[in-house]
Amino acid sequence: MNHVQASSQNSEHATSATGQDVAALNFDLQAGKVFCTGVWRAEHLAGVERKLADHNDPVLSGPLEIDGRGISDLDTAGALLLLRLQRHLTKGRDCVPLRGLNNAPRKLLRSLTEQGEIAFPNKEPRSNLLLQLGRKSLAKVHEIVALLSFFGRLIMAVRYLSRHPGRLRLPELFQEMRSSGREALPIIGLLSFLIGLVIAYQGGMQLAQYGANIFIVDLVGLAIVRELAPLMTAIMVAGRTGSAYTAEIGSMKLSEEIDALQVIGLEPLELLALPKLFGLIIVLPLLTVFADIMGIFGGMFMANAMLGVSPAVFWERLPKALSQTAYLIGIGKTPVFAAIIAIVGCYQGFTTSGSAEILGRKTTTSVVQSIFLIIISDAAFSILFSWLKI
């Protein structure tokens, strides 16, 4: 015998309490309604929860709604149980609206769900793979346009500063140079030394087979000075300094300090972005020179230990193997890398909004985008220099 009846006389009560304290759940599938009555508070919900858990009757495919006009009182536990009931009844149909609530219960539900009457979808809508690809591609195009727009604003700020050089804030510039330059020396020096070791070790094993030990100097010198030192230094600075730029500006954006600067008449780009941009353009070539030196020392150490090429022979051979053009090419790429790191880091910081979670994502995005653009620009430089035959 079906225990779900059309009339309230045969329906189960959700609690054993009496009078107005009874919380009841009555099904009338013929009318397409589920009646909720009584006091839906935590102390009166045990019976309703049992009834909902034991409800295995077939749910008709026709329209169905929850009638909450009989609910005299409702707390958070009752509101959550109502939403759970709604989810349960939604199976097999598009939605089950919740209607008839008084003002107070309705406000509580709205505060929990940010909607008045909730209709849960039966299942997540399936999205076409091609549609997803199009949306993501369009989002990337919009992001590229926004980044180029930010770059244009920076160009205009630099142009204005060139006409009013007194507006350049030297204390902030020196502070950025110190934090992104001097404090980065230990990690850059260590990693560059290790890279020189690895290059000499890997190349030395091959050269030793042909008795061409002396050419380890050419390999280390060209690889470190022309390509690896500028590229690896830029990548390390992107991970260390670029992320710091995003975190600093993003936290100021979340705390509305950027808005406060605009209110008092200060230009955020001029105050925050330009010192970082100029400071990094000055510092990154110097860091690259330091990386060149440490990388060559690492290669020289391994060449002496593995191939028997003494430091004196190494230094004597190095000027012949390493031309001034190769050195200038390596150093000449670094201002472009520095501009990429500063622009992307500042852009991601200025576009931060929402919560600390968004700031974390922006910081990660800043590092990934910077490294990606650095590698792309380095490849473009390689193609250009190949065409120019230098």
* Mean pLDDT over the full length of the chain: 84
Residue 5 resides in a domain: no
> Per residue in 115-142, pLDDT tens?
444 444 444 555 678 888 888 899 889 9
The arithmetic mean of pLDDT across residues 54-64, rounded, is 61
Q: pLDDT-based confidence at 106, cuts 50/70/90? A: confident
Start-to-end CA distance of the chain, whole Å, equals 91
Q: For residue 239, what are the domain limits?
A: 167-388
Residue 327 resides in a domain: yes
**Number of folded domains that form the chain:** 2
Contacts of 236 (CB under 8 A, 6+ apart): 184, 187, 188, 191
> Per residue in 328-379, pLDDT tens?
999 999 999 999 999 999 999 999 987 788 899 999 999 999 999 999 999 9
Residue 153 resides in a domain: no
pLDDT of 323 strictly over 90: no
- Please indicate, yes or no, whether residues 228 and 338 belong to a single structural domain of this protein: yes
Lowest mean pLDDT, pick from 90-94, 108-112, 206-210:
90-94
- Please indicate, yes or no, whether residues 302 and 368 belong to a single structural domain of this protein: yes
| Distance from C-alpha of 185 to C-alpha of 38, rounded to nearest angstrom | 71
The arithmetic mean of pLDDT across residues 246-269, rounded, is 90
| Distance from C-alpha of 10 to C-alpha of 2, rounded to nearest angstrom | 11
Q: What is the pLDDT of residue 56?
A: 59
- Please indicate, yes or no, whether residues 206 and 74 belong to a single structural domain of this protein: no
DSSP 305-359: III---HHHHHHHHHHHS-HHHHHHHHHHHHHHHHHHHHHHHHHHHT--S-HHHH
- Please indicate, yes or no, whether residues 352 and 244 belong to a single structural domain of this protein: yes
| Distance from C-alpha of 316 to C-alpha of 334, rounded to nearest angstrom | 28
- Is 295 or 51 the better-scoring residue by pLDDT? 295
- Please indicate, yes or no, whether residues 195 and 104 belong to a single structural domain of this protein: no
Residue 171 resides in a domain: yes
| Distance from C-alpha of 169 to C-alpha of 322, rounded to nearest angstrom | 39
Contacts of 264 (CB under 8 A, 6+ apart): none
Residue 158 resides in a domain: no
36: CATH: 3.30.750
Q: What is the pLDDT of residue 39?
A: 83
- Please indicate, yes or no, whether residues 207 and 319 belong to a single structural domain of this protein: yes
Instruction: Please check whether residue 185 is in contact with residue 286, taking contact to mean a CB–CB distance below 8 angstroms.
Output: no
pLDDT of 82 strictly over 70: yes
- Please indicate, yes or no, whether residues 193 and 79 belong to a single structural domain of this protein: no
In total, the chain counts a number of residues equal to 390
- Please indicate, yes or no, whether residues 209 and 323 belong to a single structural domain of this protein: yes
- Please indicate, yes or no, whether residues 49 and 185 belong to a single structural domain of this protein: no
- Is 205 or 17 the better-scoring residue by pLDDT? 205
Give the count of alpha carbons within 13 A of 179, CB side only. Answer: 17
Lowest mean pLDDT, pick from 1-10, 13-22, 273-282, 346-355:
1-10
- Please indicate, yes or no, whether residues 191 and 331 belong to a single structural domain of this protein: yes
> Per residue in 11-29, pLDDT tens?
444 334 444 566 777 777 6
- Is 321 or 72 the better-scoring residue by pLDDT? 321
Residue 49 resides in a domain: yes
CB contact burial 28-53 (16+ within 10 A = b; e otherwise) = bbeeebbbbbbbbbeebbebbbebbe
Residue 18 resides in a domain: no
Strands 33-40 and 24-28: antiparallel
> Which of 81, 96, 115 is at the close of a domain?
115
Helix (H, G, I), strand (E, B) or coil at 266: coil
- Please indicate, yes or no, whether residues 84 and 182 belong to a single structural domain of this protein: no
Q: What is the pLDDT of residue 3?
A: 40
Measured in degrees and rounded to the nearest 5, phi and psi for residue 308 equal 75, 20
- Is 157 or 105 the better-scoring residue by pLDDT? 157
Residue 369 resides in a domain: yes
> Which of 81, 99, 115 is at the close of a domain?
115
> What's the CA angle centered on 379, arms 373 and 383, to 5 degrees?
140
- Please indicate, yes or no, whether residues 183 and 299 belong to a single structural domain of this protein: yes
